[in-house]
């Protein structure tokens, strides 16, 4: 009987149904395939939360402990899945608390849709309770934003929001919805957005430019590839691998490009930039053709621009025309999504061998190994080093885990030493350098790929910026693994103070609470390691835990991260000590 | 690189908030906007911004790319003064008592192609359209008579070359 009634109703349902604006918001999310959202309720968004209550079987809403946590969780989710992350907040302080995450998503090209409640439209501009101009505030840090004041606008605007967030170079979109628009009703029908006349997500591809690029690559003696997150965002990892293998060109990565090519690939020569590997930094200023793929020449990558790869012909494969010539002049710009341009380029390049050139990388790696890596991994010295912890995680993960890191010394060490077999495995705040990113991002990442192990590696400083998200972990029982590398300092700032400010450690020493007790307060399994002898077993126990697990490792207090390109220096002036 | 006047022309959708989004791009780069005007354009429903900035060519190139990246911007261009036909309009409000007896005023108003818009017993309003130097020169001439108010519009400008915005929009309609 029940089945019969249901199918009869289905037949009788017209193309549109009358719903409230708030319900329309949920229906839009369902139409876009959204399963999990992160947020925090409050006055101006209550109608939407009331609908979330009714739709709780269809949409999993994760209550974070702070709206910033909601954005970072949505970012973590987006980064590992490639889907659009969704964060919801109320007006006023709820909305302003999203700002850091939105700015982070903007600079790291993460697809995000943020939905904020707003005071009723009749109150706009009256300095009403919890009114803030979030559209004005978020304008410079969003790919697009819009304020909805009428319920009828909801389906079209939300469809646009998802289209804009995910297409072209992805980014965050904020949609502000007045409370009266949430209450009002509309005839609901949904059509996914497939184009906006003033917006061209991907520039046209120029074959002559590709031919020029191929010619330069084919005649190069010392070609060098630097790839960034564009490869991951474009889903072009296999094409990159094929290109690298066919042309035998050594390839290095920016921190957001990490894991696009497996770390043990023989042609993967490591990380570029301030704390990158020795060989790729040195040889950036030796190569004759520099092939930049889906990266944007951030200042942390290039060091002094006046002394950056001046000898090289620069080929820049990039989806965003505004990145061409922004920092480094491209001799051969190749516009387009790298999943298309790399496929075309692959047919045009010739098979090559560059043995002598590889030897130069190997020789420099050996120097870095002797001067730095050997010591970093050395189990003989005093206290535990950060790299040793990463090494133990690698041993357990065998390169299959998602590693989320925060910002600072531990981030650089994590990027330098983590092993990855598959793409979308490294989640970190690159461009904005947001301390506090990792814990909530790890929550989102684990929910995005529940079948994978997700380990958050965090410093004792950044951890305390979003430590309240332990509550989210406890409530949702999301089995993330948290490793705190505790050196009792804001380590990166301390390192700079030591090197450039005569060891004046202004406000970098952290007097920390008992982290294990705090974790236990949230009923999260917790352990602390102070001695090297306990480390391997402790990491193993954490990695094998079926539940969330917190591990604090007391590490060397005044360890410095090397190599290092000091501010204002050329990448080839990289210091080994 | 040498700094000079560049006119940035932007064709956009007609949406709330776009002015502040575009202004923010200049703000982020610490570029002062010399003048800005927004009006409808030759294409129905499409707005045109004319923004004048004093920067070097590399800066204006980068800014134009950032502007064009905005979702609701259809197309952005930059031009030098030589590539544009441009005008500004100024209004001068002058005290009548200082003014009436002096016949020489009539002469130089004629000479500058300015126009008297309003005459009341208390004040005159004079309007002058032209290049910045021309409205400035009239400003200097009227100053001794006691300028009660002065205001000048932003630059409005059209390019010597064709813009082809309609074609661009047609292309979109056929590809989507």
pLDDT in tens, A99-150: 999 999 999 999 999 999 999 999 999 999 999 999 999 999 999 999 999 9
Query: What Cα–Cα distance (Å) separates residue A329 from each residue in A316, A332, A542?
Result: 9, 9, 47
Residues of A in contact with B27 (CB under 8 A): 140
Say whether both A149 and A214 belong to one domain: no
For residue A196, being part of any structural domain is answered with no
For residue A386, being part of any structural domain is answered with yes
Whether chain A has a CB inside 8 Å of the CB on B20: the answer is: yes
Say whether both A154 and A219 belong to one domain: no
End-to-end Cα separation, chain B, in angstroms: 41
CATH assignment at residue A511: 3.40.50.970
Residues of B in contact with A125 (CB under 8 A): none
pLDDT for residue B106: 73
For residue A467, being part of any structural domain is answered with yes
Contact B17 A145 (CB under 8 A): yes
- In this predicted structure, the answer to whether residue A6 has a pLDDT above a threshold of 50 is no
Q: Which of these, A51, A83, A61, lies nearest to A476 by C-alpha position? A: A61
Say whether both A298 and A389 belong to one domain: no
The string of DSSP letters for A320-353 reads -GGGTTTSS--SEEEES-HHHHHHHHHHHSPP--
Residues of A in contact with B72 (CB under 8 A): 144, 198-199
Whether chain A has a CB inside 8 Å of the CB on B74: the answer is: yes
CA–CA dist A191, A181 (Å, integer): 20
Say whether both A291 and A150 belong to one domain: no
For residue A562, being part of any structural domain is answered with no
- In this predicted structure, the answer to whether residue A501 has a pLDDT above a threshold of 70 is yes
- Count of alpha carbons within 13 Å of A233, Cβ hemisphere only? 28
Q: Which two tokens stand for residue A408?
A: 């600072």
Note the pLDDT tens digit of each residue in A455-473: 999 999 999 999 999 999 9
Residues of B in contact with A140 (CB under 8 A): 21, 24-25, 27-28
Average model confidence (pLDDT) for chain A?
96
Q: How confident is the model at residue B172 (pLDDT cuts 50, 70, 90)?
A: confident
pLDDT for residue B175: 63
Whether chain A has a CB inside 8 Å of the CB on B167: the answer is: no
Say whether both A215 and A155 belong to one domain: no
Whether residue A314 contacts residue A164, with contact meaning beta carbons closer than 8 Å, is answered with no
Mean pLDDT of the A139-168 span: 98
Residues of B in contact with A194 (CB under 8 A): 176
Contact A197 B172 (CB under 8 A): yes
Contact B66 A322 (CB under 8 A): yes
CA–CA dist A414, A394 (Å, integer): 10
Q: Which of these, A156, A236, A234, A148, lies nearest to A194 by C-alpha position? A: A156
CA–CA dist A520, A471 (Å, integer): 11
Q: Where are the domains of chain B?
A: 4-85, 86-152
Average model confidence (pLDDT) for chain B?
90
Residue A576 pairs with which residues in a beta bridge?
none
Contact A322 B65 (CB under 8 A): yes
Distance from CA of A542 to the nearest CA of B (A): 45
Say whether both A305 and A428 belong to one domain: no
Domain spanning B4-85 has what CATH number? 3.30.70.260
- A177 lies in which domain range? 17-188
- In this predicted structure, the answer to whether residue B101 has a pLDDT above a threshold of 80 is no
Q: Domain tally for chain A? A: 3
Assign domain B86-152 to its CATH superfamily.
ACT-like. Chain A, domain 2 (3.30.70.1150)
Note the pLDDT tens digit of each residue in A533-573: 999 999 999 999 999 999 999 999 999 999 999 999 999 99
Q: Which residue of A has its CA nearest to B165?
A: A198
B86-152 matches B4-85 in CATH topology:
yes
Say whether both A495 and A435 belong to one domain: yes
Q: What is the percent of chain B where pLDDT is above 70?
A: 97
Note the pLDDT tens digit of each residue in B106-140: 777 778 889 999 989 899 899 999 999 999 999 99
For residue A561, being part of any structural domain is answered with no
Say whether both A341 and A481 belong to one domain: no
pLDDT for residue A9: 45
Say whether both A388 and A310 belong to one domain: no
Say whether both A178 and A227 belong to one domain: no
CA–CA dist A314, A322 (Å, integer): 16
CATH assignment at residue A325: 3.40.50.1220
Contact A199 B12 (CB under 8 A): no
For residue A198, being part of any structural domain is answered with no
Question: ipTM score here?
Answer: 0.91
pTM of full prediction above 0.80: yes
Q: How confident is the model at residue B176 (pLDDT cuts 50, 70, 90)?
A: low
Mean pLDDT of the A466-489 span: 98
Q: Which residue of A has its CA nearest to B172?
A: A197
Note the pLDDT tens digit of each residue in A172-190: 999 999 999 999 999 999 9
pLDDT for residue B50: 97
Strand A251-253 relative to strand A223-227: parallel, antiparallel, unpaired?
parallel
**Across the beta sheet with A251-253, what order do the strands follow?**
A268-271, A251-253, A223-227, A289-293, A313-318, A332-335
Q: Most B CBs within 10 Å: which of A118, A164, A197, as the mutation test of the B interface? A: A197
For residue A139, being part of any structural domain is answered with yes
For residue A559, being part of any structural domain is answered with no
Whether chain A has a CB inside 8 Å of the CB on B170: the answer is: no
Say whether both A307 and A451 belong to one domain: no
Q: How far is CA A435 from the centre of its chain?
A: 13
Q: How confident is the model at residue B60 (pLDDT cuts 50, 70, 90)?
A: very high
Task: Give the catalytic positions of A in this structure.
Answer: 67, 129-130, 179, 492
pLDDT for residue B171: 78
Say whether both A182 and A233 belong to one domain: no
Distance from CA of B6 to the nearest CA of A (A): 19
């Amino acid at each position: 009987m029940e089945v019969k009634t249901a199918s009869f109703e289905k037949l009788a349902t017209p193309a549109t149904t009358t719903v409230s604006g708030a319900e329309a918001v949920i229906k839009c999310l369902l139409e876009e395939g959204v399963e999990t959202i992160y947020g925090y309720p409050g006055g101006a968004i209550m109608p939407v939360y009331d609908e979330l209550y009714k739709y709780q079987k269809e949409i999993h809403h994760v209550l974070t402990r702070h709206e910033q946590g909601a954005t970072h969780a949505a970012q973590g989710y987006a980064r590992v899945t490639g889907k659009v992350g969704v964060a919801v907040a109320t007006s006023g302080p709820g909305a302003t608390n999203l700002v850091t995450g939105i700015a982070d998503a903007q600079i790291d090209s993460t697809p995000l849709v943020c939905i904020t409640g707003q005071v009723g439209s009749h109150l706009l501009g009256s300095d009403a309770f919890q009114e803030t101009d979030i559209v004005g505030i978020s304008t410079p840090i969003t790919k697009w934003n819009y304020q909805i004041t009428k319920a009828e606008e909801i389906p079209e605007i939300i469809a646009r929001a998802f289209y804009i967030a995910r297409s072209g170079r992805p980014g965050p979109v904020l949609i502000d919805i007045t409370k009266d628009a949430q209450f009002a009703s509309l005839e609901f029908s949904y059509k996914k957005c497939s184009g906006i006349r003033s917006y061209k997500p991907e520039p046209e591809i120029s074959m002559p430019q590709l031919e020029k690029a191929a010619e330069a690559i084919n005649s190069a003696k010392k070609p060098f590839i630097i790839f960034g997150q564009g490869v991951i965002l474009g889903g072009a990892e296999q094409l990159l691998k094929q290109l690298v293998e066919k042309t035998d060109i050594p390839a290095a990565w920016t921190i957001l490009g990490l894991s696009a090519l497996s770390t043990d690939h023989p042609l993967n020569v490591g990380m570029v930039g301030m704390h990158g590997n020795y060989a790729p930094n040195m040889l950036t200023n030796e190569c004759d053709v520099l092939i930049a793929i889906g990266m944007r020449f951030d200042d942390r990558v290039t060091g002094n621009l006046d002394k950056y790869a001046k000898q090289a012909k620069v080929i820049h494969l990039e989806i965003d025309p505004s990145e061409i010539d922004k920092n480094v002049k491209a001799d051969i710009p190749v516009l387009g999504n790298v999943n298309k341009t790399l496929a075309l380029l692959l047919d045009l390049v010739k098979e090559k061998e560059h043995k002598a050139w590889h030897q130069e990388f190997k020789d420099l790696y050996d120097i870095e190994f002797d001067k730095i890596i050997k010591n970093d991994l050395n189990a003989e010295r005093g206290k535990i080093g950060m790299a040793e912890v990463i090494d133990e995680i690698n041993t357990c993960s065998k390169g299959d885990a998602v590693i989320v890191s925060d910002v600072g010394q531990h981030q650089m060490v994590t990027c330098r030493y983590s092993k990855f077999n598959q793409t979308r495995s490294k989640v970190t705040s690159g461009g904005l350098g947001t301390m506090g990113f990792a814990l909530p991002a790890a929550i989102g990442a684990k929910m995005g790929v529940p079948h994978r192990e997700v380990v958050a590696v965090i410093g004792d400083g950044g951890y305390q910026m979003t430590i309240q998200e332990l509550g989210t972990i406890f409530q949702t029982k999301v089995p993330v693994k948290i490793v705190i590398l505790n050196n009792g300092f804001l380590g990166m700032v301390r390192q700079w103070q030591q090197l450039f400010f005569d060891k004046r450690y202004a406000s970098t020493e952290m007097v920390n609470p008992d982290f294990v007790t705090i974790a236990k307060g949230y009923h999260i399994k917790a352990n602390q390691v102070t001695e090297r002898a306990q480390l391997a077993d402790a990491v193993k126990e954490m990695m094998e835990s079926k539940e969330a697990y917190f591990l604090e490792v007391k590490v060397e207090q005044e360890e410095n991260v090397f190599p290092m390109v000091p501010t204002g220096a050329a990448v080839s002036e990289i210091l080994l000590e | 690189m040498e700094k000079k006047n560049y006119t940035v022309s932007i064709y956009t959708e007609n949406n709330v908030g776009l002015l502040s989004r575009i202004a923010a791009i200049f703000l982020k780069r610490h570029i002062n906007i010399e003048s800005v005007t927004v009006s409808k354009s030759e294409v129905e429903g499409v707005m045109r911004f004319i923004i004048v900035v004093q920067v070097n060519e590399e800066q204006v190139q980068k800014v134009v790319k950032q502007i064009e990246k905005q979702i609701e911007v259809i197309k952005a261009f930059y031009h030098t003064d030589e590539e544009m036909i441009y005008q500004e309009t100024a209004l001068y409000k002058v005290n009548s008592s200082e003014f009436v007896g002096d016949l020489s005023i009539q002469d130089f108003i004629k000479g500058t192609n300015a126009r008297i818009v309003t005459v009341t017993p208390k004040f005159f309003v004079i309007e002058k359209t032209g290049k910045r130097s021309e409205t400035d020169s009239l400003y200097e001439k009227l100053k001794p008579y006691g300028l009660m108010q002065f205001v000048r519009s932003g630059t409005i400008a059209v390019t010597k070359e064709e813009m082809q915005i309609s074609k661009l929009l047609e292309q979109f309609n056929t590809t989507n």
